[in-house]
């Protein structure tokens, strides 16, 4: 399936990129498309992530914290 923004319905993530993580929120390795999300550096190793269409807050991208070496966790 496709995960969409709760505010505007913009397509964000595919269930194919979802994986189990210890956090209580869904975790993804990558956004659906290049324009699905917008990112800005919040602190070293963590980017603030928002909807690429409306700017709704989606949390963070944690660099090099995905299921495989070199992958991110959204």
How crowded is residue 31: how many other Cβ atoms within 10 Å of its Cβ?
23
| Of residues 29, 41, 40, 15, the one with CA closest to residue 71 | 29
Mean pLDDT of 6-17: 96
- Which comes out higher in pLDDT, residue 68 or 35? 35
Which of the two residues, 43 and 38, has the higher pLDDT score?
A: 38
Token duo for residue 41: 């550096």
Quote the percentage of the chain above a pLDDT of 90. 66
Q: How far is CA 8 from the centre of its chain?
A: 16
More confident site: 23 or 33 = 33
Which domains, and CATH codes, for the chain? 2-62 (2.170.150.20)
Could you tell me which residue, 8 or 70, shows the higher pLDDT? Answer: 8
């Amino acid at each position: 399936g496709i995960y969409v923004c709760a505010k505007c319905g913009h397509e964000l993530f595919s269930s194919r990129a979802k994986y189990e993580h210890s956090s209580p929120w869904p975790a993804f390795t990558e956004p659906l498309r290049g324009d699905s999300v917008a990112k800005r550096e919040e602190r070293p190793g963590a980017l603030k992530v928002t909807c690429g269409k409306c700017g709704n807050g989606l949390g963070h991208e944690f660099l090099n914290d995905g299921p495989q070496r070199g992958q991110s966790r959204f």
